Amino acid sequence: MALRPVRMQKVGLLGLRDEEERILTLLHDLRIAQVEPLSAEAMAQLSPERGTETLRRVGDEALRFRGLLSALPPSGNPVPRRFDSLADVLAATKTVPIDAEVGELKREDDRLVTEEKGIRDTLTLLDKLAFYPDRLEYLRSKASNFLCFYGEAKPEGLAELKGLLPAAADAQVLPGPSDEETSRFLLILRPAGADALSRAAQSHGVRLTAIPALSGTPREEWEALAQREATIAERRREIAARLKEVAAQWYPTVASIAEALDIENRKSEVLAKLGAGRSTFALEAWVPARDVARLESVVQQATQGRVYFYIVPTTEEPPTIMGNPRGVRRFEFFIRFYSLPQATEWDPTLIFSIVFPIFFGLMLGDWGYGLTILLICIWMIRGFPGARYLPRAGRNFVKLIMGPKGMQQLAWALIPGCLIAIGLGFVFDEFFGVHLLHLVFGLPTIADPLKAGNVGLLLKIAGFFGLGMVTLGFALGALKEYFHHHRRGAIGKVGGIAFAWGIAFFGLEVIESHKLPPPFDLVTDLSVVGLAVGIALLISGEGVFGVLGLIDIVSHILSYTRLVGILLASVVLALVINDIAILLLHGLGPIVGILLAAIVIVGGQAFNVIIGVFEPGIQGARLIFVEHFSKYYSGNGKPFRPFGAPRTHTLSSVNSDGTAVAGPFVQDPTA
């Protein structure tokens, strides 16, 4: 478990043009190399690799098979297929003769879907027009001179609409069935009033729908359209059945060829980054240092050793892979949210995974709240079962904050903090603001956070947390500056450590003695020395900025006292909620009092639970992001994007043991 991202190495290889396709396939299936544009030094000896007519054909065929794949319903359990070369893939495309039939069926289905939607909209309108007794052709016959609309509006909106239409519009309103909330009507007017109607309808909330060109009565037309809708539904079922028959025979083939073509397309995109000679080609890529030997072994095996593999010396910033173990990896969500680390700096995920749960648990400090949030986290991890029964407004609000995957990642990260909150809740004897252990078992509450002595102790603990985090930040910053050969920067960071410890113990001495020294003692002497050495080193390492940094150091240490402030605020709010509920219970009688007290308890404690998620979560992360990361963390790293993608319908060119599959450029030892 390291505090550094995975070490990266830039490598290059020079191979024969005849083996280029095979090597790119291996790189795609290994998925451990981020192919980069060839360096200027290498390109000076080569020419840019260019696409061929074959690659353009690959693009055309890929579009064709994506269309087939989207038209055919998935069928059966396709067996992955092996393609040894691009020629094999292109040859396979010629064996699929279903384009014409599938295309015609799909186009017909699309036309029917559009017609079906129009029919449904018209049926809905005809239902609303049931109050009109005559044939619709009477309205249509006047289409050259009149516009006809069905409308809905509030009664006052309809009255205002009539008043805004000009006399030249010759508007006529046929009222329909209405109620106190909505007036329904049929509106007929001359085209001269169209603009005024549009403006009035928008300004007064009037909903208008144009009357379609139909002949019979609303009932007759409704029955005819309903019959047409049934006919369309039957034809669409026939089309779906036929597509299913075609898919049963051809879907596995189409899926495998489509995937193979997509892979060839990805390979063609990489070609623009390569260099080529008359009979050779070259590429360069970032690879995790741990995988360099594996990559070289597989490529050499596949080409019978006909590739020159070399390390590329470079000062470029490598892409970043965060190589944390599974438990710590849960907290990468927060680090990526803040900023991805650079490949050459510290990866603070491990620190965050240890410190954030402690801060969260300390600020929550109640085993009732901790247990509630823990159960909510488990519910989120299990996929939000029963979420459909929650109020729609609440669900939509949560979706605005974060997607389901993000919520699950957050839940995993909050679980350790909830467990710490439960443990501290037992120590503080806090259960939704009630000393439950004392009330039920008579145990003394010796760690009540609201007692004056305990508040002072908690503030000291929070201060030492701050001192530790600031010290760790400066220590990591000093090491980073040293590794990057910035000697003065390292000196300044060491000065920050000395000043932080000096000001912390000098301040404690003043607070406890309630006066400024002298007289001096050993602790005071050491703290004064630390202050003097720290200031000198800060100025020596960072100049005038070192002086400005002195204020930051003090404020950053003191900022950690908010750990106690948020804890006390949560405890006090819980007590206030409970006291109000008790007053209501005793002051309003048994029935009303119990009802209102229950509302206050449930609503108030639910509100405090929500605060218990947001405040400790946000403030805990902020203390790490601002007061700790600012000492050493730059971020803005480039994510590692390896060339390749997983296969589903085609076989990989790499065996499960990591060796290359025998192919066109590898002699099969069993042959």
Claim to verify: residue 136 and residue 281 sit in the same structural domain:
no
Q: What is the pLDDT of residue 255?
A: 94
Q: What is the mean pLDDT of residues 427-436?
A: 91
- Residue 315 in any domain: the answer is yes
Claim to verify: residue 9 and residue 152 sit in the same structural domain:
no
| Structural domain containing residue 288 | 1-44+272-321+640-671
Judge contact between 13 and 35, C-beta under 8 A: no
Claim to verify: residue 174 and residue 308 sit in the same structural domain:
no
Claim to verify: residue 119 and residue 214 sit in the same structural domain:
yes
35, β-bridge pairs: 285
Q: What is the mean pLDDT of residues 27-52?
A: 85
Residues 6+ apart with CB under 8 A from 14: 280, 281, 282, 307, 308, 310
Q: What is the CATH number of the domain that holds 185?
A: 3.30.70.2750
Judge contact between 605 and 432, C-beta under 8 A: yes
Total domains in the fold of the chain: 3
What mean pLDDT, rounded, does the chain reach? 88
Percent of residues, the chain, with pLDDT higher than 90: 53
- Residue 267 in any domain: the answer is no
- Residue 518 in any domain: the answer is no
Report the interhelical angle of 404-428 vs 349-364 (nearest 10°): 50
d(CA 635, CA 480): 13
Claim to verify: residue 96 and residue 243 sit in the same structural domain:
yes
**Mean pLDDT highest for which of 400-404, 508-512, 622-626?**
622-626
- Residue 280 in any domain: the answer is yes
Pick 505 or 299 by higher pLDDT.
299
Phi, psi of 528 (to 5 degrees): -65, -40
Position 254 pLDDT exceeds 80: yes
pLDDT digits (tens, 9 = 90+) for 556-608: 999 999 999 999 999 999 999 999 988 888 877 778 888 998 999 999 999 99
Locate 111 and state its tokens: 């036309």
How does residue 50 score in pLDDT terms, banded at 50, 70 and 90? confident
pLDDT digits (tens, 9 = 90+) for 467-506: 999 999 999 999 999 988 899 989 999 999 999 998 888 8
- Residue 40 in any domain: the answer is yes
In single-letter form, the type of residue at position 558 comes to L
Q: What is the pLDDT of residue 179?
A: 86
Position 665 pLDDT exceeds 50: no
Pick 192 or 625 by higher pLDDT.
625
User: Which strand (E) or helix (H) includes residue 153?
Assistant: strand 147-153
3-class secondary-structure state, position 641: coil
In single-letter form, the type of residue at position 495 comes to G
Position 143 pLDDT exceeds 50: no
Claim to verify: residue 214 and residue 239 sit in the same structural domain:
no
Q: What is the pLDDT of residue 41?
A: 82
In single-letter form, the type of residue at position 457 comes to L
pLDDT digits (tens, 9 = 90+) for 147-178: 889 999 988 888 888 888 888 888 888 888 88
d(CA 292, CA 10): 9
pTM here?
Answer: 0.79
Q: What is the pLDDT of residue 511?
A: 65
Claim to verify: residue 202 and residue 298 sit in the same structural domain:
no
3-class secondary-structure state, position 427: helix
183, β-bridge pairs: 153
Judge contact between 628 and 618, C-beta under 8 A: no
280, β-bridge pairs: 16
Q: What is the mean pLDDT of residues 531-551?
A: 84
Q: What is the pLDDT of residue 147?
A: 86
- Residue 161 in any domain: the answer is yes
Claim to verify: residue 135 and residue 217 sit in the same structural domain:
yes
Claim to verify: residue 142 and residue 180 sit in the same structural domain:
yes
pLDDT digits (tens, 9 = 90+) for 608-631: 999 999 999 999 999 999 999 999
Q: What is the pLDDT of residue 141?
A: 55
Judge contact between 418 and 359, C-beta under 8 A: no
With tokens 């000679």, the residue in question is: 277
Position 534 pLDDT exceeds 70: yes
Q: What is the CATH number of the domain that holds 669?
A: 3.30.70.240
Cα–Cα distances in angstroms (integers) from residue 372 to residues 91, 399, 449, in the given order: 61, 21, 21
Q: What is the pLDDT of residue 624?
A: 95
Q: Identify the CA nearest to 461 among candidates 356, 551, 362, 568.
A: 362
3-class secondary-structure state, position 185: strand
Q: What is the mean pLDDT of residues 285-289?
A: 96
- Residue 585 in any domain: the answer is no
Residues 6+ apart with CB under 8 A from 115: 232
How does residue 518 score in pLDDT terms, banded at 50, 70 and 90? low
Claim to verify: residue 126 and residue 216 sit in the same structural domain:
yes
In single-letter form, the type of residue at position 467 comes to L
Claim to verify: residue 145 and residue 75 sit in the same structural domain:
no
DSSP, res 165? S
Locate 95 and state its tokens: 């064996």
Q: What is the pLDDT of residue 513?
A: 60
d(CA 240, CA 263): 30
How does residue 669 score in pLDDT terms, banded at 50, 70 and 90? very low
- Residue 382 in any domain: the answer is no
d(CA 125, CA 56): 50
Position 394 pLDDT exceeds 70: no
Claim to verify: residue 149 and residue 199 sit in the same structural domain:
yes
Residues 6+ apart with CB under 8 A from 607: none
